[in-house]
Structure 1
Amino acid sequence: MTRLGLTMATDVGLRRQVNEDSAYLTPQVQAIADGMGGHGHGDLASTIAIDVLREFEDTDLGFVVAEIARRLDERAPFGCGTTLTAMRWDGSRFQLGHIGDSRGYLLRNGELRQITRDHTMVQALVDEGRMTAEEAAEHPRRNMLMRALQSGTEPHEPDLSWHDALPGDRYLLCSDGLTDYVEIEAIHNALYSDRETAAAELVALANGAGGFDNVTCLLIDVPCR
């Protein structure tokens, strides 16, 4: 397995009392789960998601997501939900599992590219050509999810894919507490620092923009040969 460089930073923000983000960071699996605060018990939902991921670290992410959905139904109040964005490594490639509006990015050769697609109403409108990306970013209901892991609802399928990593790649997994409030150019610029500095700077940028939400950032570096 590729020896990865790993760093995480998380903060409750300036307006919340509880951090409903949960994260997992090991050499094999990296993941972020953002509890859905509007439904209550978001911290419980995200914790359940990460606990299942920890238990089944060596398992296909499709099974993991299905098991999270089952345990949410079993252990969480109705409507309790979470996003999940996870990477599971197999040598120099990884499986990406994603549901919700947390995000994954790849910084490669100076270009920053989003490798996940938001499962939101406004993203669906953008995909249909009925709204621009700029309009979506400012829309008051931009966080309305069309797919998530939520107790008491029909299970939603995650996006699952395999990706080849290259030496020098840097991956960012983050909750929407970063991307809702910080411009992508500022995120891009912060990622050129060393991992610890970059992670701290991303959290500081989110708080500097008002700290309206919890924020969590995971940085994963593929070493140069």
Structure 2
Amino acid sequence: MTLKLRSAAVSHRGLIRSGNQDSVHAGPWLLAVADGMGGMAAGDLASTIAIEAVSPLDVETPEDALVARLQQAVQTASARIRAAVAEDAERQGMGTTLTALLFARTGSCLALAHIGDSRAYLLRDGVLKQITRDDTFVQMLVDEGLISIEEASSHPRRAVVTQALQGEDVAPTYSTMVPSVGDRWLLCSDGLSNVVRADTLAEALISYPDRQACAQRLVDLALRAGGPDNITVVVGDVTADAAGPVPRPAG
């Protein structure tokens, strides 16, 4: 049995921001979300550069090449951001988060690349788990036991990112996992995760089997919560065949 990845994405500028600095890719082999920073024009550019660097990976890839391909794409993104900053001094400080999932052509493995505070969640057997770890000042405080997870959710510095793609040497996190039929992946910018509780995310992922409807529901939840930031959502399902029915996550 060969597993396949089927996905849908929705992006919205939110209710406060004048534009959308997020970029997204949702294909048969690759899911990716990038959240730009450093001013409107520069943020747009940085996230676009990141997605354009990883989008060529949306092809059949051997499982033993997944991480290496992601590493190469991230290095390409970083080099292009560095070049963009060199072209225009006003772009100094621009950068972007990146969370990307690459599915192997056999369906036997997937790899994740992550830097920043965009997130990847996995819903499996009705249980939602955050797979990525935020590169943020507040997450450092949680790790050191200085504040609780509950306190982190409302901390005034929760948006301070400690690592991002900015054209400098960084250490993204790379990992691999074995997919399972019925897995549902959520990749999102912090415009969703900062304002919608994890249990509410899980409820939506379970209640909306249609991927596009589910992605739209998640965006709507963030808008109902005030939509203070750009909101980007990718919902990806692991299925048992190329065109079969969408599996309803257990729960």
- Post-superposition Cα deviations, 1:70-101, rounded to whole Å, max 9, x if no partner, equal 11010132111000000111122111000000
Counterpart among 142, 146, 149 of residue 165 in structure 2: 149
Superposed CA RMSD in Å reads: 1.6
Which residue in the other structure is 2:64 paired with? none
- How big is the shift at 1:220? 0.6
- 70, 89, 101: which is aligned to 1:61? 70
TM-score, scaled relative to structure 2: 0.85
In structure 2, how many angstroms separate the alpha carbons of the residues matched to 1:172 and 1:196? 12
Unaligned 5+ segments in structure 2 are: 62-67, 86-90, 242-251
Cα separation, 1, equivalents of 2:147 and 2:70: 32
Give 3-state SS (helix, strand or coil) of 2:153's partner.
Answer: helix
- In structure 2, the CA distance between the partners of 1:75 and 1:37, relative to structure 1 (3 Å rule), is closer
Tell me, yes or no, if structure 1 residue 84 matches structure 2 residue 91: no
Offset from partner CA, 1:116-155 (integer Å, 9 cap, x none): 000001101111111111111110001111111114xx32
Superposed, 1:193-204 pairs within 5 Å as 193-194=208-209, 195-204=211-220
How many percent identity over aligned positions? 45
Letter of the 2:8 partner, please give it.
T
CA distance in 2, matches of 1:8, 1:35: 17
Residues 1:184 and 2:212 aligned together: no
Q: Quick one: distance in 2 between partners of 1:216 and 1:6?
A: 13
Q: How does 1:65-214 map to 2 (within 5 A)?
A: 65-76=74-85, 77-90=91-104, 91-92=106-107, 93-151=109-167, 154-192=168-206, 193-194=208-209, 195-214=211-230
Q: CA deviation at 1:56?
A: 4.7
8 Å CA contact retained: 1:39, 1:79: no
Number of residues of Structure 1 aligned to a counterpart in Structure 2: 223
Cα distance between partner residues in 2 of 1:110 and 1:56: 30
Give secondary structure in 1 for the equivalent of 2:228: coil
Query: What's 2:44 paired with?
Result: 43
Which one-letter code corresponds to 2:11 in the other structure?
T
Q: Which amino acid aligns with 1:31?
A: A
Aligned pairs for 1:207-222 (under 5 A) are 207-222=223-238
Per-residue deviation, 1:2: 2.9
Contact 2:38 2:93 (C-alpha < 8 Å) held by counterparts: no
After superposing the two structures, state which structure 1 stretch, 184-193 or 34-43, moved more.
34-43
Take 1:220 and 1:70, find their aligned partners in 2: how far apart are those partners? 29
- Aligned-partner SS, 2:239: coil
Normalization by structure 1: what TM-score?
Answer: 0.94
